[in-house]
Amino acid sequence: MRVLPCGTEQMLKWMLTLVVAIFLLGIIGPHLARFVRFGKLPGDFAFRFRGRNYVFPVATTIIFSLLLWLLSRIV
């Protein structure tokens, strides 16, 4: 049995949690986008330049940040 340095086990748990969360969001995200129209809120900037569409979802980012902050406070 290998002994890991202090704090390494916690870091590995957090890394695994992040990988699983990103994986699940990648699977659930496109399906959820059909029902929730984030990215088209007032404050989300979209423009076309040289034939390409650019989107800067400022309001959506702020709302997601607040939701994640509230979730972290609850848990």
User: DSSP per residue over 8-68, as a string?
Assistant: HHHHHHHHHHHHHHHHHHHHHHHHHHTTS-TT-STTEEEEEETTEEEEEEHHHHHHHHHHH
Q: Is the pLDDT of residue 61 over 70?
A: yes
- The pLDDT of residue 67 is 87
N residues, the chain = 75
Q: Using a pLDDT cut of 70, give the percent of the chain over it.
A: 87
- The pLDDT of residue 2 is 67
Query: What is the pLDDT confidence band of residue 50, given thresholds at 50, 70 and 90?
Result: very high
Question: Which of 1-5, 21-25, 37-41, 58-62 comes out lowest in average pLDDT?
Answer: 1-5
Q: Is the pLDDT of residue 12 over 70?
A: yes
